Structure 1
Amino acid sequence: MGVLKSTSILFSALVTGSLMISGSALAAEDVNLPKTIAMTAYGTGSAGYTQMVSIGNLLQNEYGVSVRILPGENDVSRMTPLRTGRVPMCACGIASYYGSEGVLMFAGKEWGPQPIRVIATSTASFGLGVAVAGDLDVKRPADLKGKRVSYVRGDDALNIGTEAFLAFGGLTWDDVKKVEFPGYGRSFDGVIAGQSDTGFTMSVAPPAQQLAASPRGITWPTLDPNDKEGWKRLQAVAPYFQPHKVTSAAGIEKGSAWQGATYPYPILVINANEKSGLADGLIKVLIEDYDKFKDAAPGNAGYALEQQNTQWVIPFHDEVVAYYKEIGHWTDEMQAHQDQLVQRQEVLQKAWKGYKGGNPPEDDDAFRKGWMEARAKALEAAGMNPVFR
């Protein structure tokens, strides 16, 4: 499961550059939050952890709410306390989507599809995508045909991301030379050393910076937001990606941008049946006190109302939907999308219950294989794309 360490945060001593909070756009009586909030997040050096510290500072100073952050070393260790009820919220990554779908590391006996809901997400200036050695003439994903493309053993998220970018260009792994590496860092070492030509990464990550500074340099293939067919192919593989004008990326000069892709990080999720008022209170603070914390940590600007993708891949918590309706930020189209996502989770839950109750195989691999087949069959019967098989 991985190690989960508990850290109590003294919010009066924040990281350098944190914003001094004074005065709130909300009255204290308008925010009905638990007096103490525990959550899981990425490790202490991560952007997600730092953001949670800054938001915790706001909650402590303005509303007397204490926040305790449990940094998890991997996706499973971050999601497990949420599943078991040890914490009500996770500042997770894209694994929250995998968890809601019951796939990959969440396809095992102890997991299955998780009935989780989104409170808010952060979509900042960075992007995610396939970084390509700059000494190649690669301007768009289709240009990767015949190139050496990195495949990281045991890292589904990176490999699915790469596969999605290839799909945008009408390519598959069969159209490129797959070069396998034992880890994320090694894949970029391989690009710099001339063993491969690509690596999937966050646009501001140190490996991307190292590639940009190397003799090979770096380039980011353009994903034209007007290429509807390309985006349809990409999102058929990884529906959580969205077009994004990336202004923070290795090798991109200040004032320039890469027209690429991203998905939110972190993703604040809670269980669907959480009724403590956490979702209602926190979304109010994040939206209405936005100016009070937007500069307190890198990436906080991504919590702005206009950055919230209200038609993404995980449904919002009912309290968040009610709040958006209250402020006039909810449309019939958004509601239809929300209803479809909730229905998808219901189909998955029913399929999981039926599979578990039908004497599934004891062997872990056979269990996962059987579940993925049952899952796909149930979704297709409901007219939904399984995405994962």
Structure 2
Amino acid sequence: MLRRAFTTGAAALAAFMTTTAVMAQDVSLPRTQVWTSYDVGTAGYVEASAMADALDKKFGTTVRIIPSGTSIGRLLPLQAGRASYGFMGNENYFAGEAMFEFGAREWGPQDLRVVLGRPSQVGLVTGKDTGIASPADLAGKKVGYVLANASTTLNTETVLAFAGLTAADVEKVEYPSYGAMAKAFVAGEIDVAPAVPTSSFLREAEGGRGVQWLSMPKEDTEGWGRVAAHASLFSHSEATVGVSISDDNPADLLGYRYPQLTVPASTSADEVYNMIKALDETFDMYKDASVVMPNWSTSIAGTTPAGAPFHDGAVRYLKEIGVWTDKDQQWNDARIAHIEEVKAAWEAATAQADSEGVKGADWPAYWEAWRAEHLN
């Protein structure tokens, strides 16, 4: 499996980085680093670029960013040792769970760790012409889905889980791209769509059919308990900025992390410790690069939950500066334990599949059924 794919070349790269480190104010960084991120022009790429520029100016570390529009494209260089850090999205979670593309035999559960993760928000939005007031009203309604987009599917079905519903309770309307689904929502072809509060298509919808966020009140502890059971990367977040959202009209949505600065679990704790310390010390140099950059503050981006557990090196630094709490540690320990359970289930499932002669094309369905039976 690729979670074991650290090669001699990767070790050589790590050794090179260690021997060519630069020192500044008790921070030791390699002279060069390679990061992966989302495509050029995305929030992830812009934010990674701003942070890389700050490290260059303060510590003389040159960062090359490899952009990719796919989860595999962002993770493969990291796992093969060709990149040291990745600015990831929800693929952190999918990789740890061996879900979707990471359920392929050549992948399997990935042991990843987060260094920092910027809080973001996502939820379901409906038109004011639908009469839908809450997630509980979604049964039988037309909900937009995007084909081959695991992140948006997870977002949608987590909100459904909040209300005790599943995809089987709604009418799924599938589209080939997010843009196509957005146009359908504006045109009134679907009742509900997943979106982040600042989605541009919502401005057009706001001026037409109107926009209503399906709020998930914090005090609904049973609903949030179902969210935690469905996808542990999410937590409650009150949105005060966005389309049809304000300080006077907030929306209770799913809080998650994007982007998430990510490393393999096997990365040196000292390396990660120095990296997070360097990012903390250069925060004032990149915090104004965009309206969301202040959320990279360690006091905000260094807390759980996230798509993967936090790395030991990051935890060490976060404890030193008083950010890491007992609650964070409990979440982290539970997440690591769960990933170990997934890894054990994967080993058992692959052994059983081999004994039964399960072929490659049949493996995804086999693994999905095994997960459902053996994992919570």
Letter of the 2:103 partner, please give it: A
2:4 is matched with none
Distance 1:244 1:336, change over 3 A: closer
- Kindly indicate whether residue 333 of structure 2 is the aligned counterpart of residue 339 of structure 1: yes
Q: What SS does the corresponding residue of 2:30 show, helix, strand or coil?
A: coil
Letter in 2 for 1:120: L
Bigger mean CA deviation after superposition, 281-290 or 263-272: 281-290
Q: Secondary structure at the match of 2:119?
A: coil
Quote the Cα distance in structure 2 between the aligned partners of 1:363 and 1:305: 46
Tell me the SS of whatever aligns to 1:86. coil
Do the aligned residues in 2 keep the contact of 1:32 with 1:280 (CA within 8 Å)? no
Match of 2:236 among 233, 240, 243: 243
* Partners of 1:34 and 1:277 within 8 A in 2: no
Candidates 165, 187, 190, aligned match of 1:171: 165
Map residues 281-320 of structure 1 onto 2, 5 A cutoff.
Answer: 281-307=274-300, 308-320=302-314
Q: Is the 8 A contact 1:188 1:211 kept in 2?
A: no
* CA shift digits 1:40-89 (9 cap, x unpaired): 10011101111111111110010011111000021111111112111121
Quote the offset at 1:348 in angstroms.
Answer: 2.5
**C-alpha separation in 2, matches of 1:110 and 1:240:** 25
The change in CA–CA distance for 1:329 and 1:160 in structure 2 (over 3 A counts) is closer
Alpha-carbon distance between aligned partners in 2 of 1:166 and 1:344, rounded to the nearest angstrom: 23
Residue 205 of structure 2: which of 195, 198, 211 is its match?
211
- Counterpart of 1:57 in structure 2 is 53
Q: 1:284-306, CA deviations, whole angstroms, 9 ceiling, x for partnerless residues?
A: 12334323321123421111233
Of 45-54 and 234-243, more deviation after overlay is shown by 234-243
Which residue is 1:162 aligned to? 156
Change in Cα spacing, 1:151 to 1:106, as seen in structure 2 (3 Å) is same
1:275 to 2:268 alignment: yes
CA offset at residue 277 of structure 1?
4.0
Matched, 1:48 2:41: no
The structure that is helix-richer by fraction is: 2
- Counterpart-to-counterpart distance in 1, 2:243 and 2:370: 42
1:242-261 equivalences under 5 Å are 242-253=235-246, 256-261=249-254
For 1:121, which of 117, 120, 138 is the aligned residue?
117
Q: Deviations over 1:224-254 (max 9, x none)?
A: 0110011112333232221111122223357
Structure 1 segments unaligned to the other structure (5+ residues): 1-26, 380-384
- When structure 1 is superposed on structure 2, of 201-210 and 95-104 the one drifting more is 201-210
Shift of 1:195: 1.6
For 2:219, the aligned partner's letter is N
Q: Does 1:188 align with 2:182?
A: yes
> Which residue of the partner structure matches residue 72 of structure 2?
76
Identity across aligned pairs (percent)?
32
Quick one: which amino acid aligns to residue 290 of structure 2?
A: A
Q: TM-score scaled by structure 1? A: 0.83
CA displacement at 1:261 relative to structure 2: 1.8
2:192 alignment partner in structure 1? 198
What residue is the counterpart of 1:36 in the other structure?
32
Distance 1:35-1:160 versus aligned 2 partners, 3 A rule: same
Name the SS for the 2:233 alignment partner: coil
- Please report how far the alpha carbon of residue 368 of structure 1 lies from its aligned counterpart in structure 2 after TM superposition: 1.8
User: 1:264 matched to which residue of 2?
Assistant: 257
Instruction: Give the C-alpha shift of residue 157 in structure 1.
Output: 2.1
Name the CA shift for 1:146/1:267 in 2 (closer, same or farther; >3 Å): same
Measure, in 2, the Cα distance between the counterparts of 1:144 and 1:346: 35
Equivalent residue runs for 1:80-99 within 5 Å: 80-99=76-95
Question: 1:365, 1:246 → 2: CA distance?
Answer: 43
Partner in structure 1 of residue 127 of structure 2: 133
Bigger drift between 172-181 and 355-364 goes to 355-364
Residue correspondences, number: 351
- Cα 1:168–1:376 change in 2 (3 A) is closer
Preserved CA contact (<8 Å) 2:88 2:259: yes
Structure-2 separation of matches of 1:372 and 1:173: 16
TM-score normalised to structure 2 length: 0.86
Asked whether the 8 Å contact 1:92–1:265 carries over to 2, the reply is yes
**How much has 1:155 moved relative to structure 2?**
2.1
2:319 corresponds in structure 1 to 325
Q: CA deviation at 1:276?
A: 7.6
Distance 1:59 1:333, change over 3 A: same
* Aligned-residue RMSD, C-alpha: 2.3
